[in-house]
Chains A and B, each alone.
Chain A
């Protein structure tokens, strides 16, 4: 469903990706692991058009985003493609990024009503059912500031799901949470995965990655150092950097 080919990306003069390739099939669950600064966020953000890149191509079901230095690059087309891709792919951020001036319900209904043009009543019905799914139906009228971190992240997931995406990108969804709240968020992600949602998740929760993913990639300094099934990566990593990294997490 998502195909990244020959991706080159640099932040200013600082090169990050040097010809990165990655393919995600429909229904697959890819866990992106690696140390801080290895490029996990940048990779996810490139897919969703929040970052431009220099070379290469990202294709989502045939919708192609090109690097700005590619011949096929065209600003107008790119803007159009980005919109189509964002309609198919939802994203959840480390910092939740809920809209603080709106109630939980309005956070969820905002995009469906304003972007998809769904009626408010219908959007609210969908929002309520999504809130039930993340076990927060009683918080519909609360403001984000009145929720705990874990609750906010679950609302953020519901908000992304309200756009009926075909795939979800999670950028370290539990990294800003207190330990006791991590589980409730991961459970929601697990539910999603079990429904067959195509998922790409950057995470430091190795246990979760091992249990839930279908593929794991280990990123370091913008390079995919190792990739494979979770079983292979977690129980028998080939690369010594992967080994070192995992040994710090799995004790």
Chain B
């Protein structure tokens, strides 16, 4: 192949380029062929709606009785809008964190999912007039009488959701220990479990989850009022205009109020929606009480990323230590234990290798409290990762131990060494050497898997990244920097492992 025919090569290159162009054209037509999204919606008869049903009730969520069906007050609003447009709704499930990014990419026509109108988001998308006035509500345990208003949250542990105004409010208070969650159920769970002292979330959420729960209580007036709007791509002024007219219509006709009443989220604050002209002016000139400052310069976001990296390193090292020790115990149980120890070890390994780490983490953190064991997020993260990887490490050890020739054991036996001594002095040191390369691979994999612990309210590097990126819409630069941070941590490890391997090899 050294003397590849030049002409042949050119022809091949050209045809590959053609295919690329063709494919680009093919994908682009879908999104960009129509000048105007409104036109496209009307002619195709379909309005594509982006939302995240994982966010939960009462916005958009799966009906517990008919899980295939989506319900929520925003579903009703979107349906009303579609009816007014004379089109059908097509759902587009999207991670909430990246919902505006997907909107910009053209995945759907509108994003309507509790998106607060902020001056900073307005730089990347166009908002309609508000369709809902939200406020932040404090929720505490019914038995707790320490907290009555926002100021009482100083020095407390408070749960809230990622990328919300409530989170920024808490952070700006300075001395609040903020626990951030990606789902709406979890902060209330942790509140009932005494893991946190209070929850500060958008009023509809508090209303839906806390009001029916006798253990929890909403305290104080709602604070930090702001507005939800429908987001469209920046250039879609015609679509925004049309949506504004529809919102106005269903507002005046009382339909919107009925929807909100049905979902229990109507309050007098919603009256402000009628003041739309003045209001539109107001919120663009002076954004809602909480100013969202976008961290764009390195000095602003690097400390957050580094803090996340530190958590990642800490969790990885501690859980790997657990995995190494527990894995060794499992391997020895399986190889040298009696029948019962062998069975226990085998069952453990099969269970942990056959179930997703995510489920294991959920069980540890949210499941165990049901039987009276309440672990902190940090401990649960280390146990979850460590116990999972122990299953893999034990198999690596087992392979390593079994690779040691029988002659080694026999020679040691003939020197009168005991079984335990042989294992410790002869077998394990040699097995360890065999195990180092796969163990390093596992450690690097664990390092990356540690991002999964964000589901149990740990803010590590990946979560810090996605939070910052979603807030600033700067997925690219932040992504590169985060990737570099991960690489900067895992690469020295590979080098170290390679060096160790070479050193251990020197006596082969």
Contacts and interface: CB of A to CB of B under 8 A. Distances in A.
A143 B505 CA distance: 11
Contacts of A49: 413
B414 A99 contact: no
A69 interface: no
Interface residues of A, number: 27
B416 A111 contact: yes
B410 A93 contact: yes
A120 interface: no
Contacts of A95: 405, 407
Interface string B413-443: 1111110010001100110010000000000
Nearest to A162: B415
B277 interface: no
Contact of A101 (B405, B411, B414, B430): B430
Given A93-B407, A97-B408, A99-B408, A110 B415 contact: yes
Nearest to A50: B410
A144 B506 CA distance: 11
A48 B414 contact: yes
Contacts of B415: 86, 110-111, 115, 159-160, 163
A37 interface: no
A100 B416 contact: no
B151 interface: no
Interface string A34-67: 0000000000000011100000000000000000
A108 B145 CA distance: 73
A97 B417 contact: no
B507 interface: yes
Interface string A118-145: 0000000000000000000000000111
A105 B412 CA distance: 15
A195 B224 CA distance: 98
Contacts of A97: 405, 407-408, 410-411
Contacts of A156: 411
A90 interface: yes
A159 B411 CA distance: 10
A87 B408 contact: no
B413 A86 contact: yes
A219 interface: no
The main secondary structure of chain B at its interface with chain A is helix
Contact of B417 (A111, A143, A160): A111
Q: How large is the interface on B (under 10, 10 to 19, 20 to 34, 35 or more residues)?
A: 20 to 34
B508 interface: yes
A152 to B, nearest CB: 12
A86 B414 CA distance: 6
A170 B50 CA distance: 80
A91 interface: yes
A177 B277 CA distance: 99
B505 to A, nearest CB: 9
Contacts of A163: 415-416
Given A95-B407, A110-B425, A145-B508, A101 B413 contact: no
A54 B408 CA distance: 25
Contacts of B429: 101
Interface in B351-389: none
Interface in A165-217: none
Interface string B53-95: 0000000000000000000000000000000000000000000
Contacts of B433: 101
A241 interface: no
A88 B280 CA distance: 98
B485 to A, nearest CB: 36
Residue of A90, A95, A101 with most chain B CB atoms under a 10 A cut-off: A101
Contacts of B408: 97, 99
Interface string A229-240: 000000000000
A110 B425 CA distance: 9
B508 A100 contact: yes
A186 B271 CA distance: 106
A88 to B, nearest CB: 10
Contacts of B430: 99-101
B416 A87 contact: yes
Residue of A50, A98, A114 with most chain B CB atoms under a 10 A cut-off: A114
Residue of B411, B412, B425, B426 with most chain A CB atoms under a 10 A cut-off: B411
Contacts of B407: 93, 95, 97
Nearest to A83: B416
A114 B419 CA distance: 12
A93 B409 CA distance: 12
Contact of B414 (A91, A143, A146): A91
Contact of A114 (B410, B417, B504): B417
A178 B264 CA distance: 91
Residue of A48, A87, A100, A110 with most chain B CB atoms under a 10 A cut-off: A100
B414 A90 contact: yes
Nearest to B429: A101
A114 B425 contact: yes
A160 to B, nearest CB: 7
A115 B416 contact: yes
Contacts of B411: 91, 93, 97-99, 156
22 contacts: A50-B410, A83-B416, A87-B416, A90-B414, A95-B407, A97-B408, A97-B410, A99-B408, A99-B412, A100-B430, A100-B508, A101-B429, A101-B433, A101-B504, A110-B417, A115-B415, A115-B416, A145-B507, A146-B507, A156-B411, A160-B414, A163-B415
Interface of B: 405, 407-408, 410-418, 421, 425-426, 429-430, 433, 504, 506-508
Given A101-B507, A143-B506, 12 more contacts: A48-B414, A93-B411, A97-B407, A99-B411, A100-B430, A101-B430, A101-B433, A110-B415, A111-B412, A114-B425, A115-B416, A146-B507
For the complex of A and B, list the 5 residue pairs with the smallest distance between their C-beta atoms, beginning with the closest. Answer: A143-B507, A97-B411, A111-B415, A97-B407, A91-B414
